[in-house]
Chains A and B, each alone.
Chain A
Amino acid sequence: MESLFPLLFWAVLLVLGFVFGQLNEKRHYRSIREREQAWLHLPATASRYRLLPGQVARSELVGGSVVVSVDYFKRAAAGLRSVVGGPVKSYESLLDRAKREAVLRLKESCPGAHEIVNLRLETASLSKNARGAIGAVEVFAFATAIYLADQVDAATKPA
Protein backbone atom coordinates (compact mmCIF):
# COMPACT_ATOMS: atom_id res chain seq x y z
CA MET A 1 0.00 0.00 0.00
CA GLU A 2 2.78 2.33 0.94
CA SER A 3 4.55 1.85 -2.38
CA LEU A 4 1.38 2.99 -4.14
CA PHE A 5 1.52 6.45 -2.62
CA PRO A 6 4.09 8.06 -4.97
CA LEU A 7 2.21 6.65 -7.93
CA LEU A 8 -1.03 8.13 -6.67
CA PHE A 9 0.64 11.48 -6.10
CA TRP A 10 1.99 11.43 -9.62
CA ALA A 11 -1.44 10.55 -11.04
CA VAL A 12 -3.06 13.45 -9.16
CA LEU A 13 -0.46 15.88 -10.52
CA LEU A 14 -1.05 14.52 -14.00
CA VAL A 15 -4.80 14.99 -13.78
CA LEU A 16 -4.41 18.47 -12.26
CA GLY A 17 -2.00 19.40 -15.03
CA PHE A 18 -4.30 18.07 -17.71
CA VAL A 19 -7.50 19.75 -16.48
CA PHE A 20 -6.06 23.15 -15.61
CA GLY A 21 -3.56 23.12 -18.45
CA GLN A 22 -6.25 22.52 -21.06
CA LEU A 23 -8.51 25.11 -19.46
CA ASN A 24 -5.70 27.64 -19.41
CA GLU A 25 -4.79 26.96 -23.01
CA LYS A 26 -8.34 27.36 -24.29
CA ARG A 27 -8.77 30.62 -22.41
CA HIS A 28 -5.44 31.92 -23.63
CA TYR A 29 -6.15 31.05 -27.27
CA ARG A 30 -9.51 32.82 -27.09
CA SER A 31 -7.87 35.97 -25.73
CA ILE A 32 -5.09 35.79 -28.35
CA ARG A 33 -7.56 35.52 -31.22
CA GLU A 34 -9.64 38.44 -29.97
CA ARG A 35 -6.63 40.69 -29.48
CA GLU A 36 -5.05 39.74 -32.81
CA GLN A 37 -8.30 40.78 -34.48
CA ALA A 38 -8.26 44.09 -32.62
CA TRP A 39 -4.66 44.82 -33.64
CA LEU A 40 -5.05 44.13 -37.35
CA HIS A 41 -4.75 47.86 -38.06
CA LEU A 42 -1.11 47.81 -36.97
CA PRO A 43 0.80 45.79 -39.58
CA ALA A 44 4.09 44.16 -38.66
CA THR A 45 6.85 42.91 -40.93
CA ALA A 46 10.00 40.91 -40.37
CA SER A 47 11.65 42.83 -43.21
CA ARG A 48 13.90 45.82 -42.64
CA TYR A 49 11.97 47.88 -45.16
CA ARG A 50 8.86 49.87 -44.45
CA LEU A 51 5.42 48.79 -45.59
CA LEU A 52 3.70 52.16 -45.74
CA PRO A 53 4.62 55.29 -47.67
CA GLY A 54 4.76 58.66 -45.97
CA GLN A 55 6.95 60.88 -43.86
CA VAL A 56 8.22 59.40 -40.60
CA ALA A 57 7.57 61.53 -37.53
CA ARG A 58 9.50 59.35 -35.11
CA SER A 59 10.47 55.78 -34.38
CA GLU A 60 11.26 53.78 -31.31
CA LEU A 61 12.50 50.41 -30.21
CA VAL A 62 9.65 48.37 -28.76
CA GLY A 63 9.48 44.97 -27.15
CA GLY A 64 7.16 42.48 -25.55
CA SER A 65 7.94 39.38 -23.60
CA VAL A 66 6.32 36.47 -21.85
CA VAL A 67 7.55 33.59 -19.74
CA VAL A 68 5.40 30.48 -19.96
CA SER A 69 5.63 27.34 -17.98
CA VAL A 70 4.83 23.88 -19.21
CA ASP A 71 2.22 21.94 -17.23
CA TYR A 72 2.70 18.52 -15.69
CA PHE A 73 0.65 16.69 -18.27
CA LYS A 74 2.39 18.27 -21.24
CA ARG A 75 5.74 17.36 -19.80
CA ALA A 76 4.70 13.75 -19.33
CA ALA A 77 3.28 13.65 -22.87
CA ALA A 78 6.52 15.07 -24.25
CA GLY A 79 8.50 12.51 -22.29
CA LEU A 80 6.47 9.71 -23.84
CA ARG A 81 6.84 11.28 -27.25
CA SER A 82 10.60 11.34 -27.00
CA VAL A 83 10.59 7.54 -26.82
CA VAL A 84 9.15 7.13 -30.32
CA GLY A 85 10.05 10.51 -31.82
CA GLY A 86 7.88 12.73 -34.00
CA PRO A 87 6.16 16.05 -33.48
CA VAL A 88 5.62 17.06 -29.85
CA LYS A 89 2.19 18.68 -30.20
CA SER A 90 1.94 19.65 -26.55
CA TYR A 91 5.06 21.82 -26.77
CA GLU A 92 4.18 23.19 -30.19
CA SER A 93 1.00 24.78 -28.90
CA LEU A 94 2.81 26.14 -25.83
CA LEU A 95 5.45 27.89 -27.93
CA ASP A 96 2.87 29.09 -30.45
CA ARG A 97 0.90 30.74 -27.66
CA ALA A 98 4.00 32.31 -26.17
CA LYS A 99 5.14 33.78 -29.46
CA ARG A 100 1.76 35.22 -30.38
CA GLU A 101 1.39 36.65 -26.88
CA ALA A 102 4.82 38.31 -27.08
CA VAL A 103 3.98 39.96 -30.41
CA LEU A 104 0.63 41.15 -29.02
CA ARG A 105 2.36 42.69 -26.00
CA LEU A 106 4.79 44.41 -28.31
CA LYS A 107 1.90 45.94 -30.24
CA GLU A 108 0.12 46.91 -27.03
CA SER A 109 3.22 48.81 -25.90
CA CYS A 110 2.95 51.27 -28.82
CA PRO A 111 -0.77 51.94 -29.42
CA GLY A 112 -0.24 55.05 -31.56
CA ALA A 113 2.22 53.54 -34.02
CA HIS A 114 1.43 53.01 -37.70
CA GLU A 115 3.68 50.09 -38.54
CA ILE A 116 6.17 47.69 -37.02
CA VAL A 117 9.32 46.84 -38.94
CA ASN A 118 12.09 44.32 -38.41
CA LEU A 119 10.18 42.14 -36.00
CA ARG A 120 12.48 39.65 -34.30
CA LEU A 121 11.61 36.84 -31.91
CA GLU A 122 13.99 35.30 -29.42
CA THR A 123 13.30 32.16 -27.45
CA ALA A 124 15.33 31.28 -24.39
CA SER A 125 14.94 28.29 -22.16
CA LEU A 126 15.16 29.30 -18.52
CA SER A 127 15.66 25.82 -17.16
CA LYS A 128 18.11 24.12 -19.51
CA ASN A 129 16.55 20.78 -18.59
CA ALA A 130 18.17 20.93 -15.19
CA ARG A 131 16.86 18.39 -12.73
CA GLY A 132 14.21 19.80 -10.41
CA ALA A 133 14.33 23.16 -12.19
CA ILE A 134 11.32 25.07 -13.44
CA GLY A 135 10.49 24.12 -17.01
CA ALA A 136 9.92 27.53 -18.51
CA VAL A 137 10.53 29.32 -21.78
CA GLU A 138 10.89 33.02 -22.38
CA VAL A 139 9.84 34.53 -25.68
CA PHE A 140 10.92 38.08 -26.38
CA ALA A 141 9.72 40.00 -29.43
CA PHE A 142 11.37 43.25 -30.44
CA ALA A 143 11.00 45.59 -33.37
CA THR A 144 11.11 49.20 -34.49
CA ALA A 145 7.77 51.01 -34.28
CA ILE A 146 7.20 53.78 -36.79
CA TYR A 147 4.93 56.77 -36.29
CA LEU A 148 3.98 58.58 -39.47
CA ALA A 149 3.76 62.34 -39.73
CA ASP A 150 0.53 62.61 -41.71
CA GLN A 151 -1.93 60.26 -40.09
CA VAL A 152 -4.66 61.06 -42.61
CA ASP A 153 -2.62 59.50 -45.37
CA ALA A 154 -2.16 56.27 -43.47
CA ALA A 155 -5.76 56.09 -42.37
CA THR A 156 -7.22 56.52 -45.85
CA LYS A 157 -4.80 54.10 -47.46
CA PRO A 158 -6.75 51.08 -48.78
CA ALA A 159 -6.01 47.90 -46.86
Chain B
Amino acid sequence: MFLSNIETIPGKTISASHGVVSGSTVRAKHVGRDIMAGLKNIVGGELRGYTELLNESRDQAIERMKAQAQQMGANAIVNVRFSTSSVAVGAAEIYVYGTAVTVI
Protein backbone atom coordinates (compact mmCIF):
# COMPACT_ATOMS: atom_id res chain seq x y z
CA MET B 1 0.00 0.00 0.00
CA PHE B 2 1.47 3.34 -1.09
CA LEU B 3 0.62 6.43 0.90
CA SER B 4 1.32 10.08 0.22
CA ASN B 5 -0.04 13.46 1.20
CA ILE B 6 0.24 14.90 -2.30
CA GLU B 7 -2.16 14.30 -5.21
CA THR B 8 -0.08 11.54 -6.75
CA ILE B 9 2.28 8.76 -5.82
CA PRO B 10 5.60 10.10 -7.17
CA GLY B 11 6.93 7.92 -9.97
CA LYS B 12 3.57 6.17 -10.52
CA THR B 13 0.41 6.82 -12.51
CA ILE B 14 -3.10 6.71 -11.10
CA SER B 15 -5.34 4.42 -13.15
CA ALA B 16 -8.51 4.36 -11.05
CA SER B 17 -10.03 6.24 -8.16
CA HIS B 18 -12.19 4.63 -5.48
CA GLY B 19 -13.27 7.53 -3.29
CA VAL B 20 -12.58 8.66 0.23
CA VAL B 21 -11.34 6.27 2.89
CA SER B 22 -10.83 7.10 6.53
CA GLY B 23 -9.85 5.67 9.86
CA SER B 24 -10.24 6.97 13.36
CA THR B 25 -9.48 6.13 16.96
CA VAL B 26 -10.51 7.68 20.22
CA ARG B 27 -8.05 7.04 23.00
CA ALA B 28 -8.05 7.84 26.64
CA LYS B 29 -4.85 8.17 28.60
CA HIS B 30 -4.43 6.11 31.73
CA VAL B 31 -4.05 7.45 35.23
CA GLY B 32 -0.39 6.54 35.69
CA ARG B 33 0.59 8.59 32.71
CA ASP B 34 -1.54 11.42 33.92
CA ILE B 35 0.19 11.59 37.29
CA MET B 36 3.60 11.73 35.63
CA ALA B 37 2.31 14.36 33.25
CA GLY B 38 1.00 16.36 36.19
CA LEU B 39 4.49 16.41 37.68
CA LYS B 40 5.99 17.34 34.33
CA ASN B 41 3.54 20.17 34.15
CA ILE B 42 5.43 21.99 36.89
CA VAL B 43 8.85 21.91 35.25
CA GLY B 44 7.75 21.73 31.61
CA GLY B 45 9.23 19.59 28.87
CA GLU B 46 8.13 16.73 26.70
CA LEU B 47 5.40 14.34 27.86
CA ARG B 48 6.84 11.16 26.38
CA GLY B 49 3.93 9.02 27.51
CA TYR B 50 1.52 11.19 25.57
CA THR B 51 3.73 11.32 22.51
CA GLU B 52 3.81 7.51 22.43
CA LEU B 53 0.09 7.23 23.08
CA LEU B 54 -0.77 9.53 20.20
CA ASN B 55 1.69 7.81 17.87
CA GLU B 56 0.14 4.43 18.65
CA SER B 57 -3.34 5.77 18.00
CA ARG B 58 -2.24 7.36 14.78
CA ASP B 59 -0.74 4.07 13.58
CA GLN B 60 -3.97 2.31 14.41
CA ALA B 61 -6.05 4.90 12.53
CA ILE B 62 -3.78 4.49 9.49
CA GLU B 63 -4.18 0.69 9.68
CA ARG B 64 -7.96 1.06 9.69
CA MET B 65 -7.83 3.39 6.72
CA LYS B 66 -5.56 0.97 4.85
CA ALA B 67 -7.92 -1.93 5.57
CA GLN B 68 -10.80 0.05 4.12
CA ALA B 69 -8.80 0.88 1.00
CA GLN B 70 -7.81 -2.75 0.58
CA GLN B 71 -11.44 -3.78 0.72
CA MET B 72 -12.15 -1.40 -2.16
CA GLY B 73 -9.38 -3.00 -4.19
CA ALA B 74 -7.10 0.03 -4.06
CA ASN B 75 -3.33 -0.22 -3.74
CA ALA B 76 -2.57 3.36 -2.76
CA ILE B 77 -4.01 6.28 -0.79
CA VAL B 78 -3.25 9.83 -1.89
CA ASN B 79 -3.83 13.19 -0.23
CA VAL B 80 -3.72 11.73 3.26
CA ARG B 81 -4.62 14.21 6.00
CA PHE B 82 -4.66 14.00 9.76
CA SER B 83 -6.66 15.74 12.38
CA THR B 84 -6.53 15.54 16.14
CA SER B 85 -9.14 16.84 18.49
CA SER B 86 -9.72 16.42 22.16
CA VAL B 87 -13.32 15.28 22.45
CA ALA B 88 -13.36 15.26 26.24
CA VAL B 89 -10.92 15.91 29.03
CA GLY B 90 -8.57 12.93 28.96
CA ALA B 91 -9.56 11.57 25.56
CA ALA B 92 -8.42 12.49 22.08
CA GLU B 93 -9.68 11.54 18.66
CA ILE B 94 -7.27 10.91 15.83
CA TYR B 95 -8.82 10.98 12.41
CA VAL B 96 -7.03 10.22 9.15
CA TYR B 97 -8.52 10.35 5.69
CA GLY B 98 -7.47 10.22 2.10
CA THR B 99 -8.46 9.15 -1.41
CA ALA B 100 -8.08 5.49 -2.31
CA VAL B 101 -6.66 4.95 -5.80
CA THR B 102 -5.12 2.26 -7.94
CA VAL B 103 -1.66 3.09 -9.24
CA ILE B 104 0.47 1.37 -11.86
Contact = CB atoms under 8 A, between A and B. Distances in A.
Contact of A16 (B43, B46, B81, B89): B43
Main secondary structure of the interface of B (DSSP, over half): mixed
Contact of A58 (B7, B11, B81): B11
B41 A72 contact: yes
A17 to B, nearest CB: 6
Given A68-B45, A74-B44, A146-B10, A138 B4 contact: no
B37 A122 contact: no
A120 to B, nearest CB: 7
Residues of B in contact with A, size category:
35 or more
Contacts, number: 129
Contact of B37 (A59, A136, A146): A136
Given A134-B38, A136-B37, A61 B43 contact: no
A59 B4 contact: yes
A98 B92 CA distance: 19
Interface of A: 13, 16-17, 20-21, 24-25, 28, 48, 50, 55-61, 63, 65-72, 74, 94, 101, 117-118, 120, 122, 124-128, 130, 133-136, 138, 140, 142-144, 146
19 contacts: A17-B42, A21-B45, A59-B10, A61-B3, A61-B4, A65-B58, A67-B46, A68-B44, A71-B41, A71-B43, A72-B41, A122-B84, A124-B86, A128-B86, A128-B89, A138-B54, A143-B5, A144-B4, A146-B10
